[in-house]
DNA sequence: ACACTGCATGTATGG
DNA sequence: CATACATGCAGTGTA
């Protein structure tokens, strides 16, 4: 029967280990308290449970496979059995057991170490819960193994806080000496188990508030672990030498997940994937989460996670039998490396791994460098914004001794069992040099441990991994990411750290050319900033895609009538409830010009043809296909040939790929290339009419006017009131007229060619289905096909164009940049924004649209002008739309440039258009 | 005049 | 928005 002893020495109550509500993940009721005095127990049940005398090994009860506590703790490889023991995941799977989280025992029964395991049940969640237990059902941190001790401390500390029993800790009283701290996590645990070590009480209540965050992140850890193999950021205890030595056979170097709950999750999608992908290449890298034994905030930022290589470990540990526990690292800032001699310590790190200090004066700290030289720094803090700012003072000699500069990284490790603090370093400048010269450097920017050092070291694996992930997931050569990766690489590693003289470095702001000056300045924070930007940009891409797709899936709330509101002369439908997501559907335009909507049955997955104006609910099955009696059940024949379906999917893929690609193009290109691309597509005619496509281009490429923007909108007369009259002969209007004329003539010509082509193909007995065009889709399946593709495709250009126009018109109303005063020129009532009307209008033919807009002909100059004027107005009212309207014009540039070359004033505009 | 010290403040960053 | 942190800066000490 395991027991715990109350930390309160005056109490000393020993109690058997029980399952307590305190283990609940989110309950916030950390009741792991002594029943007598309410103090926290000195150790964690979890540690005890899984880090027991048998070294944490368990045997699968079915196959006998031995599973280490890491597997247990990770929970990714085992299932804990109600009857005791564990099953490896494969056996568990075969036996039909479902993976599940481990839950607290609501009965509070006494549980020994083994019993704990036994009582961790592997039962389907549903079957295990009764109504009353649901409330108490809380995931437990079974992944606690070595680090569980730290977690338990945090639990206890949290307890302290919550119970107001916080006692300002005096180092000599409660905080273990560095020697005591200086043990492997395992030994730390053992000490704790034996009660020989006083778990640190918080010296700062605030410092322990991370507990709940810890637990919250646990669940995420669960997820990530379930989803994938061990993640990139290894458990420090495992990745440190001690683990390698002890568990070299069983423990992959990079095992991250078990300690993830103690530290912030890495940037989403970056670290895991990066290191998975590059696992082989970085196998020797120790990207270690720091030990969780610290008493401080557990939320160490990943940038402080110690990254250490075998070489460095070897260098630090030398030939001794000591083990090195990487604690944290910090890239030196200019201030750190400056002559002030103050090294700002990350607060969390200082509180976690350095002795607690209650007075600002702090205490002297002996730290040994890798050469064995011992330094004494003053470890102290400054009050700062109701917080503390920890610094190591007197580091200048050490910094200089190591010849460190801003951008270099100092690492703090602990040598066990002595507990000696070790200060290592990595030179930032190494990274560039080694990286550049080392042929073994991974082509994607990931490097072996020997080649990765601060700067690039910190980021490249992440970036490359992310890039790799994207590439693997999206099948997309991600030049943008690569570029970012390079940029980041240079930012992290190549920043001008090569100025050896610190003085000179401080002066380079004056000495360096302007282009270089910001680089130095940037260097200070560009790392994290760029990383953030990078990730954000990636997220943004993802989000944007999602958003764009969502736009087309949004439906008005079905049962709610909108209230019409007028905002700056624009009418909006305002719904009391948020829009709903409708079902994805695909619009198809046949060669005959007939539009179709296709949707996939949620039950049988067959594609069914639907009227174009139908809005489907999120769930839709053949049963609801009231438009086709022969296919109103799933047994109805499939209407869509595999070929066409493949075509749809393929085009969808291509579209997304293309969209991703266009999204990553530098903004500089957006103005021109985006317009040109749209223009080309418009002239080519096929699918530009697709509203979704145009919407993509619009929102992606030109959401807002920018200074220097030379688009058709921006070159309009200023103030926005200079509405062009039909008689206007300004450059813009003339250009518009000319281009539109050219455009339409060309389109006419192409249309006639295509009609001829259709006729020819029909004669060749080609199936009409094959001629269908995936032209418009609510799910962005419609594409901007390549020109070559377009030429071979058959479509109804007019319909496409009509959609374009309609979409342009409609979107013009939606765009908040639209100019109210131009609205008068819009068709009356057309400014009514309605999702349904949008869809309906999208199905209108061009002729209908033109009639409605009084544009029965576009062939005459005047009519041409009218059309262009309308479009110009639409454009004026919608910055985000003008691409749609005027890009075609710009696209005609090629053709018309021949006749416009001598049009001086126009030419510039044409170029920019 | 320079160095040091302690605090204040602006910015980056994460939640 | 809160916090962490890099750095500025004023006050003080010292050569």
Residues A430, A185: Cα–Cα separation, whole Å: 31
A450 CB below 7 A from strand B atoms: no
Question: What's phi and psi for A46, nearest 5 deg?
Answer: -65, -40
A297 CB below 7 A from strand B atoms: no
Residues A287, A308: Cα–Cα separation, whole Å: 6
Calculated CA dihedral for residues A222, A227, A232, A234, nearest 10 degrees: 30
Protein A389 CA to nucleic acid B11 C1', in Å?
16
Q: Residue A419's pLDDT is what?
A: 80
Q: Residue A565's pLDDT is what?
A: 65
DSSP states of A850-908: HHHTT---SSSHHHHHHHHHHHHHHHHH-GGGHHHHHHHHHHTHHHHHHHHTT-HHHHH
Question: What's phi and psi for A344, nearest 5 deg?
Answer: -75, 125
Protein A389 CA to nucleic acid C3 C1', in Å?
11
Largest pairwise CA distance in chain A: 100
Which nt sits closest to A334, CA to C1'?
A: C6
Which nt sits closest to A299, CA to C1'?
A: B14
Sign of the CA dihedral A862, A864, A865, A870? positive
The number of angstroms, rounded, from the C-alpha of A121 to the middle of its chain's C-alpha atoms is 34
Question: What's phi and psi for A775, nearest 5 deg?
Answer: -110, -35
Nucleotides of C under 7 A from a protein CB: 3-8
Do the Cβ atoms of A221 and A265 come closer than 8 Å?
A: yes
Protein A620 CA to nucleic acid B5 C1', in Å?
72
A335 CB below 7 A from strand C atoms: yes
Do the Cβ atoms of A3 and A14 come closer than 8 Å?
A: yes
Which nt sits closest to A330, CA to C1'?
A: C5
Neighbouring C-alpha atoms within 13 Å toward the C-beta of A354: 28
Q: Residue A770's pLDDT is what?
A: 40
pLDDT > 90 in chain A, percent: 0
Residues A672, A695: Cα–Cα separation, whole Å: 17
Q: Residue A417's pLDDT is what?
A: 75
Protein A523 CA to nucleic acid C9 C1', in Å?
23
Question: What's phi and psi for A866, nearest 5 deg?
Answer: -55, -45
Neighbouring C-alpha atoms within 13 Å toward the C-beta of A295: 27
Region for residue A308 given its phi and psi (left: phi exceeds 0; alpha: psi -120 to 50; beta: otherwise)? beta
Q: Residue A655's pLDDT is what?
A: 54
Tokens (6 digits) for A187: 């030994």
A333 CB below 7 A from strand C atoms: yes
Protein A532 CA to nucleic acid B11 C1', in Å?
14
Which nt sits closest to A301, CA to C1'?
A: B14
Which residue is associated with the tokens 């003072």?
Answer: A393
Q: Residue A281's pLDDT is what?
A: 34
Q: Give chain A residues 352-391 with Cβ within 7 A of strand B.
A: 360-361, 380, 382-385, 389
Nucleotides of B under 7 A from a protein CB: 4-15
Protein A509 CA to nucleic acid B6 C1', in Å?
27
Helices and strands (H and E) in chain A: how many:
37, 22
Residues A336, A342: Cα–Cα separation, whole Å: 6
Do the Cβ atoms of A290 and A267 come closer than 8 Å?
A: no
Nearest to A347 by CA among A401, A300, A288: A300
Q: In this structure, are strands A363-369 and A420-426 parallel, antiparallel, or unpaired?
A: parallel
Protein A504 CA to nucleic acid B1 C1', in Å?
21
Protein A484 CA to nucleic acid B11 C1', in Å?
23
H or E element at residue A146: none
A387 CB below 7 A from strand C atoms: yes
Measured CA distances, A819 to A232, A697, A746 (Å) = 52, 21, 31
Contacts 24+ apart (CB under 8 A), A311-315: A311/A449, A311/A450, A312/A286, A312/A411, A312/A424, A312/A426, A313/A240, A313/A241, A313/A286, A315/A370, A315/A424
Nearest to A864 by CA among A889, A893, A841: A889
Residue nearest to nucleotide C7 (CA to C1'): A335
A791 CB below 7 A from strand B atoms: no
H or E element at residue A376: strand A374-384
A518 CB below 7 A from strand B atoms: no
Q: Residue A386's pLDDT is what?
A: 80
Protein A651 CA to nucleic acid B14 C1', in Å?
39
A505 CB below 7 A from strand C atoms: no
Protein A577 CA to nucleic acid C4 C1', in Å?
40
Protein A383 CA to nucleic acid C12 C1', in Å?
19
Which nt sits closest to A345, CA to C1'?
A: C5
Q: Which residues of chain A have pLDDT under 50?
A: 1-4, 16-34, 40-58, 67-84, 95-287, 293-298, 430-548, 662-724, 766-913
Protein A384 CA to nucleic acid B9 C1', in Å?
10
Residues A180, A176: Cα–Cα separation, whole Å: 5
A194 CB below 7 A from strand C atoms: no
Q: Give chain A residues 402-431 with Cβ within 7 A of strand C.
A: 406
Measured CA distances, A623 to A43, A582, A626, A636 (Å) = 60, 17, 7, 10
Q: Residue A64's pLDDT is what?
A: 60
Sign of the CA dihedral A103, A106, A111, A115? negative
Neighbouring C-alpha atoms within 13 Å toward the C-beta of A219: 10
| pLDDT one-digit tens code per residue, A785-822 | 333 333 333 333 333 333 333 333 333 333 333 333 33
Do the Cβ atoms of A673 and A488 come closer than 8 Å?
A: no
Tokens (6 digits) for A204: 């700062």
Question: What's phi and psi for A47, nearest 5 deg?
Answer: -60, -45
A36 CB below 7 A from strand B atoms: no
Q: Average pLDDT, whole number, for chain A?
A: 48
Residue nearest to nucleotide B15 (CA to C1'): A213
Which nt sits closest to A348, CA to C1'?
A: C4
DSSP states of A521-540: HHHHHHHHHHHHHHHHHHHH
Measured CA distances, A647 to A585, A597, A769, A830 (Å) = 15, 15, 11, 35
Residues A600, A608: Cα–Cα separation, whole Å: 6
Protein A1 CA to nucleic acid C15 C1', in Å?
69
Q: Residue A328's pLDDT is what?
A: 84
Q: Residue A31's pLDDT is what?
A: 30
Residues A692, A774: Cα–Cα separation, whole Å: 12
Q: Give chain A residues 300-329 with Cβ within 7 A of strand C.
A: 301, 304
Tokens (6 digits) for A502: 């610190």
Do the Cβ atoms of A42 and A6 come closer than 8 Å?
A: yes
């Amino acid at each position: 029967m395991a027991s715990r002893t109350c930390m309160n020495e005056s109490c000393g109550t020993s109690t058997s280990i029980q399952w307590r509500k305190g283990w609940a993940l989110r309950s916030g009721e950390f009741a792991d308290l002594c029943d007598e005095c309410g103090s926290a127990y000195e150790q964690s049940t979890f540690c005890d449970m899984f880090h027991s005398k048998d070294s944490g090994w368990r045997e699968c009860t079915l196959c006998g496979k031995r599973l280490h506590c890491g597997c247990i703790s990770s929970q990714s490889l085992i299932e804990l059995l109600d009857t005791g023991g564990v099953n490896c995941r494969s056996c568990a799977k075969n036996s039909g057991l479902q993976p599940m989280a481990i839950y607290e025992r609501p009965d509070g029964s006494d549980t020994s170490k083994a019993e704990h395991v036994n009582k961790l049940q592997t039962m389907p969640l549903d079957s295990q819960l009764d109504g009353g237990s649901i409330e108490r059902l809380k995931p437990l941190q079974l992944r606690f193994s070595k680090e569980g001790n730290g977690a338990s401390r945090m639990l206890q500390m949290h307890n302290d806080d919550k119970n107001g029993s916080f006692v300002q800790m005096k180092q000599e009283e409660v905080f273990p000496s560095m020697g005591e701290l200086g043990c492997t996590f395992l030994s730390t645990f053992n000490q704790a188990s034996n009660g020989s070590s006083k778990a640190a009480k918080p010296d700062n209540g605030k410092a322990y508030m991370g507990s709940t965050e810890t637990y919250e992140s646990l669940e995420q850890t669960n997820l990530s672990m379930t989803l994938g193999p061990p993640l990139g950021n290894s458990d420090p205890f495992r990745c440190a030498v001690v683990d390698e030595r002890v568990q070299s056979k069983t423990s992959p170097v990079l095992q991250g997940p078990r300690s993830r709950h103690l530290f912030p999750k890495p940037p989403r999608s970056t670290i895991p994937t990066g290191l998975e992908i590059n696992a082989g290449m970085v196998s020797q890298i120790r990207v270690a989460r720091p030990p969780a034994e610290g008493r401080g905030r557990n939320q160490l930022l990943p940038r402080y996670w110690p990254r250490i290589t075998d070489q460095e470990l070897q260098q630090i540990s030398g030939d001794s039998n000591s083990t090195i526990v990487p604690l944290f690292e910090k890239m030196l800032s200019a201030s750190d490396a400056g002559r002030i001699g103050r090294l700002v310590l990350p607060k969390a790190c200082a509180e976690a791994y350095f002795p607690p200090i209650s007075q600002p004066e702090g205490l002297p700290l002996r730290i040994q460098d890798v050469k064995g030289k011992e330094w004494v720094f003053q470890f102290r803090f400054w009050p700062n914004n109701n917080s503390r700012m920890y610094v190591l003072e007197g580091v200048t000699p050490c910094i200089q001794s190591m010849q460190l500069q801003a951008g270099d990284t100092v690492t703090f490790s602990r040598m066990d069992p002595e507990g000696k603090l070790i200060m290592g370093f990595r030179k930032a400048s190494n990274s560039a040099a080694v990286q550049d010269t080392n042929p073994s450097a991974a082509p994607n920017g990931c490097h072996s441990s020997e080649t990765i050092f601060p700067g690039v070291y910190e980021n490249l694996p992440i970036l490359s991994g992310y890039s790799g992930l994207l590439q693997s997931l999206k099948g997309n050569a991600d030049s943008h990411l690569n570029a970012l990766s390079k940029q980041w690489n240079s930012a992290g590693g190549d920043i001008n750290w090569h100025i050896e003289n610190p003085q000179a470095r401080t002066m380079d702001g004056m000495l360096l050319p302007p282009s270089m000056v910001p680089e130095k300045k940037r260097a200070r924070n560009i790392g994290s900033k760029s990383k953030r930007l990078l990730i954000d940009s990636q997220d943004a891409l993802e989000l944007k895609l999602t958003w764009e797709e969502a736009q087309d899936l949004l439906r008005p709330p079905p049962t709610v009538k909108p209230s019409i509101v007028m905002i700056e002369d624009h009418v909006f439908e305002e719904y009391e409830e948020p829009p709903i997501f409708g079902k994805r559907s695909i619009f198809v335009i046949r060669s005959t010009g007939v539009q179709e909507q296709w949707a996939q049955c949620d039950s049988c997955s067959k594609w069914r043809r639907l009227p174009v104006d139908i809005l489907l609910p999120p769930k839709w099955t053949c049963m609801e296909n009231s438009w086709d009696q022969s296919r109103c059940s799933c047994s109805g024949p499939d209407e869509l040939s595999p070929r066409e379906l493949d075509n749809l999917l393929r085009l969808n893929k291509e579209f997304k790929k293309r969209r991703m690609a266009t999204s990553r193009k530098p903004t500089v290109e957006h103005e021109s290339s985006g317009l040109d691309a749209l223009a080309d597509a418009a002239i080519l005619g096929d699918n530009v009419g697709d509203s979704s496509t145009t919407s993509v281009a619009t929102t992606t490429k030109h959401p807002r006017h920018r200074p220097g923007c030379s688009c058709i909108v921006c070159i309009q007369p200023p103030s926005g009131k200079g509405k062009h009259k039909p008689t206007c002969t300004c450059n813009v209007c003339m250009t518009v007229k000319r281009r539109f004329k050219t455009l339409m003539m060309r389109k006419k010509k192409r249309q006639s060619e295509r009609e001829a082509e259709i006729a020819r193909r029909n004669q060749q007995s080609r199936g009409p289905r094959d001629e269908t065009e995936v032209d418009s889709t609510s799910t962005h399946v419609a594409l901007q096909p390549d020109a070559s593709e377009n030429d071979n495709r058959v479509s109804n250009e007019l319909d496409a164009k009509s959609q374009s126009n309609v979409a342009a018109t409609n979107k013009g109303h939606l765009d908040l940049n639209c100019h109210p005063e131009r609205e008068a020129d819009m068709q009356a009532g057309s400014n009514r924004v309605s999702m349904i009307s949008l869809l309906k209008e999208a199905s209108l033919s061009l002729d209908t649209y033109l009639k409605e807009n009084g544009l029965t002909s576009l062939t005459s100059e005047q009519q041409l002008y009218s059309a262009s004027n309308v479009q110009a107005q639409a454009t004026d009212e919608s910055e985000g739309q003008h691409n749609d309207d005027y890009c075609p014009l710009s696209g005609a540039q090629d053709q018309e440039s021949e006749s416009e070359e001598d049009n001086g004033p126009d030419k510039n505009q044409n170029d920019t258009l």
